[in-house]
């Protein structure tokens, strides 16, 4: 059992370090991820339902294209936003 706890602690530390390294490699990702997370945290479920499927602004489209073109940048972004967005979507019934 202690070995499992140790392995889990080491894996968690490595993933955390990888996330920090990615954020330092792409400082703009920190800013964009923060804005996205705040959007989900501050929006009501009704607002999220209404925004679903609406066209993106040109700036959002540029960011999305940059994430599509750079796999490492995309991974750093997803690492930052996945949990908060998934939790909010679950609370709002947007995820099963």
Q: What is the pLDDT along the chain (96 residues), one digit of tens a residue?
A: 444 444 444 445 544 544 555 446 788 888 889 999 999 999 999 998 888 888 989 988 998 999 999 999 999 999 999 999 999 989 988 887
Structural domain contains residue 60? yes
Structural domain contains residue 9? yes
Structural domain contains residue 33? yes
Q: For residues 41 and 88, is the Cβ–Cβ distance under 8 A?
A: yes
Q: For residues 40 and 48, is the Cβ–Cβ distance under 8 A?
A: yes
Structural domain contains residue 96? no
Structural domain contains residue 47? yes
Q: Quote the number of domains for the chain.
A: 1
Q: Which domain holds residue 49?
A: 2-91
Prediction pTM value: 0.66
Question: Residue 94's closest CA among 40, 33, 55, 54?
Answer: 40
């Amino acid at each position: 059992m202690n070995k499992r706890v140790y392995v889990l602690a080491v894996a968690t530390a490595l993933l955390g370090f990888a996330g920090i390294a990615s954020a330092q490699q792409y400082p703009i990702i920190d800013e964009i991820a923060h804005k996205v997370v705040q959007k989900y945290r501050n929006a009501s479920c009704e607002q999220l339902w209404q925004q679903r499927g609406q066209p993106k602004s040109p700036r959002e489209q540029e960011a999305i294209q940059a994430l599509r073109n750079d796999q490492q940048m995309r991974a750093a972004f997803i690492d930052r936003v996945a949990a908060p967005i998934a939790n909010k979507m679950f609370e709002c019934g947007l995820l099963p």
